[in-house]
Amino acid sequence: MRSHKVIEIRNLTSSTYVIRMEKNDFTFKTGQYITLGFSGSIDRREYSIYSSENDNFLEVLIKEVENGLVSKKLKRCKPGDYLDVDGPFGHFSLEESEIGRKKFLFIATGTGISPIHSFVETHPEMDYQVLHGVRIEEEAYEKDSYPNGKYILCTSREKSGDYHGRVTDYLMKNPIPSDTVCYLCGNCHMIYEAYDILEKQGISLGPIHTEVYF
């Protein structure tokens, strides 16, 4: 367990925010997650790392959960506070041998974009496309950080995105080349449905990587 000093809080919406902390000597592999909580508290939650391996700070993307104990407390933290970080954990990571020679499709819903943001910030040289499903455009967290043409926003409750509908609707109407390496991160319903769609489109089991957000 390490204590990390909070540098800033970045509010993206009324309920979603990014905490930036000092990185110190913390190392991780892009796609991994940490447990986070106030120093001295037993209450902690798991959050995927949002920042790049190469950044000199550590960031997590958090959505405040109604009746959520930790997410509400963390939203009130301020620069200078100390948070306890444990980890990194997890195996939702890129295969180094594929980064320069494969085409990637990253599919996310909501804050499931967090590890994908870390992927593309760490390896901007990748040949990739991000498909992000949200309800409204406001939830397209920092979409301007992605290069033009690399990020497709699917909005289910308004027509302000690049595609009106769910990411699974987009996948059915826009088949994916069978040699694409796919990473799915978000709610379990999207993952199960997208997994089936991709399999039917000829994506073999090996190239599909998943991480479920509850």
Where do the H-state alpha helices sit in 38-150? 69-75, 113-122
47 is in an annotated binding site: yes
2 is in an annotated binding site: no
- Residue 145's Cβ-side half-sphere holds a number of Cα atoms within 13 Å equal to 17
Which residues lie across from 14 on neighbouring strands?
none
Q: Tell me the C-alpha to C-alpha distance, in Å, between residue 158 and each of 79, 164, 182.
A: 35, 7, 26
**Nearest one of 127, 154, 126 to 140, comparing CA atoms:** 154
192 is in an annotated binding site: no
22 is in an annotated binding site: no
> DSSP labels for 181-208?
EEEEEE-HHHHHHHHHHHHHTT--STTE
User: Binding site: what residues are annotated?
Assistant: 45-48
User: Binding site for FAD: what residues are annotated?
Assistant: 45-48
